[in-house]
Amino acid sequence: MSEKRAIAHAAGVVGALTVVSRVTGLLRDAVVGYLFGAGTAADAFFVAYRIPNLLRRLVAEGAASAAFIPILTGYLATRTRAEADEAARVLFTIMAVVLAVITLVGVLMAGTIAAFVAPGFAAVPGKLQLTIRLTQMVFPYIFFIGMVAAAMGVLNSLRDFVAPALSPIVLNLVIVGVVLAAAPWLGIYSLALATVIGGAAQLLTQIPALRRLRVPLRPRWQPRHPAVARLRALMLPTVVGSAVYQINVLVSTMFASLLPAGSVSYLWYAERLLEFPLGVFAVALSTAALPSFATLAKRDLDEFRDTVGFALRLVNFVALPAAVGLAITADPLTSVLFQRGEFGPFEARQTAIAVRSFALGLWSVASVRMLVPAFYALEDTRTPVITAAGAFIANLAFAVLFIGPLPAPPADAVLARGLAAATRFASVAELRHGGLALATSLAATVNLLLLCMAFRRAVGGFAWRAWFASILRALMASAAMVPVVLAVTRRVVWFGGGVPLVTRLAWLLAAIGAGGLAFGAVALALGGTEVTALRAVVRRRRAIERPG
């Protein structure tokens, strides 16, 4: 099987499981919204969760995606399996020690961290104190999920994508079960407890797959092992690059903490809807593509360049219609998924505003998630750092322009006071939390353009014409579904109209189905290599399902 077909096939497997994980994720978020809404307690938890989650993406995922896979792929390609197994044991042990230290420091410094990230919470009695307690409870999650990311890196190197893709499903189901059982007694603290238990359950689900592939799980402390030196060399620039993006997220959280209560929650719920199409296809595709990228980058640079271009065209084919669909169904989606219990029509409407703004950047975010692994495969971790820095500056500027004038935070929050002063001086629109989401989308587009130009220099060319033709085809097919979807959704009062949930769900599904048919018909008529590849995957699956 060629690397292109391998990517498409693996992405299909991961994507199918990721659909299940995202559906269970939406179920989790619907339950959380029903129980806790978008008020003070929800804001406090989402900030508390974001802190270890940012560190998880910074340290754990950075190691798994940017270091583990290239290192172990190299060992498997050039050395014996025994040497690769030893390297995996050493890297596992190093990761466990680093994550344990980070967890301990985070628990001890939760007060300082929470006050820095959410300075605006100090103005609301008890809100900052609640955030600190929740941060201390949630922080052990980073250890478990960090080890899960390390295990996923090993499994993906061995081309096993099933167990890692099952992991989020386990997390979501555990959180739903624990929260429903414990919320009447523990309140918002049940959500923190459920997150930690879910992280531990995720780690346990990776062990059978590792044993099946005969990956040794015994720790091995050998800090001078060559794989550790390679880990430092690859991971340090990656951590710096990821830090730029995570600082970006922290600054956005600072801004949101200065907005009215609920703003942090609106952005959180909206991000969950954005992550659905990203997880279903973009993350699945990039996960499946990285081992192929790593192999081709060492073997055939021309085929590597061609394969990356093909992967980006696949992103166009899915991310652009997903972005358009998300924007025009923001009201129905937030109404159906979240509008119940403590999450009323006002909260749903405010979340929909953020969804539309985030949707504008979905295609850019998906494309960036595909291009960055291509640089990692080239063992170039410096370029993503530079482009991420440019995106950070752009996001900061856009946020100041679009959020509107902000009140001054407490005197000891020096950075937040500077940001608030900048908004009072330079703001051009008062979009509040919608402005923060819009800034994120525009910054992602800046990052994408910078990465494309850098990739062209790195590999001696970029198929601009094929890429733009693919974008045009996807946009034309996406435009075809807009009037169809709007014709359906305009028949329902989505917020506060007293329309039963079952009725709203039926109309939403009808709109999605009609839009999907319209897009598919036009896309098939327009053709393209990405359509041909996906049809080939479908035909192969049908052949497998009909043996004999």
pLDDT in tens, 311-359: 888 889 889 999 999 999 999 999 999 999 899 999 999 999 999 999 9
| Segment of 84-93, 241-250, 365-374 carrying the highest mean pLDDT | 365-374
The CB density around residue 175, as the number of other CB atoms within 10 Å, is 26
For residue 267, pLDDT beyond 80:
yes
What is the CB neighbour count within 10 angstroms for residue 416? 24
Dump pLDDT digits (tens) for 371-390: 888 887 887 878 888 888 89
CB contact at 8 A, 519 and 478? yes
Which two tokens mark 303?
């085929």
522 by DSSP, 3-state: which? helix
Question: Which is more confidently placed, 427 or 379?
Answer: 427
Close Cβ partners of 428 (under 8 Å, ≥ 6 residues apart):
401, 402
Cα 174 from Cα 202, distance rounded (Å): 9
| Residue 292 CB burial class (10 angstroms; 0-12, 13-18, ≥19) | buried
The two three-digit tokens of residue 241, written as one number: 């690059």
Question: How many CB atoms lie under 10 A from the CB of residue 369?
Answer: 19
Q: Are 81 and 89 in contact (CB under 8 A)?
A: no
Q: Is residue 548 part of a domain?
A: no
Does residue 251 carry a pLDDT above 60?
A: yes
**Residue 371 confidence (pLDDT):** 87
Count of alpha carbons within 13 angstroms of residue 318, beta-carbon side: 25
Please write down the HEC assignment for all residues of 71-133.
HHHHHHHHCCHHHHHHHHHHHHHHHHHHHHHHHHHHHHCHHHHHHHHCHHHHHCCCHHHHHHH
* Phi-psi region at 79: left, alpha or beta (left = phi > 0; alpha = psi -120 to 50): beta
Q: Residue 346: what pLDDT?
A: 94
CB 333 within 8 A of CB 414: no
- Please give the Cα distance from 159 to 146 (Å, whole number): 20
Q: Tell me the two tokens of residue 390.
A: 């440019």
Percent of the chain with pLDDT over 70: 84
Q: Is residue 468 part of a domain?
A: yes
pLDDT of residue 184: 92
pLDDT at 522 over 80: yes
Q: Which of 243, 267, 245, 257 shows the shortest CA–CA distance to 417?
A: 257
- Total number of domains constituting the chain: 1
How far apart CA 125 and CA 129 sit, in angstroms, is 8
Q: Is residue 137 part of a domain?
A: yes
CA distances (Å), origin 263, targets 318, 335, 348: 29, 17, 12
Answer yes or no: are the C-beta atoms of 330 and 355 closer than 8 Å. yes
Burial-class residue 246 by CB neighbours within 10 Å (0-12, 13-18, 19+).
buried
Residue 7 clears pLDDT 80, i.e. is over it: no
| Domain that residue 464 falls in | 3-543
Within 10 angstroms of residue 306's Cβ, the number of other Cβ atoms is: 18
pLDDT at position 239 over 70: no
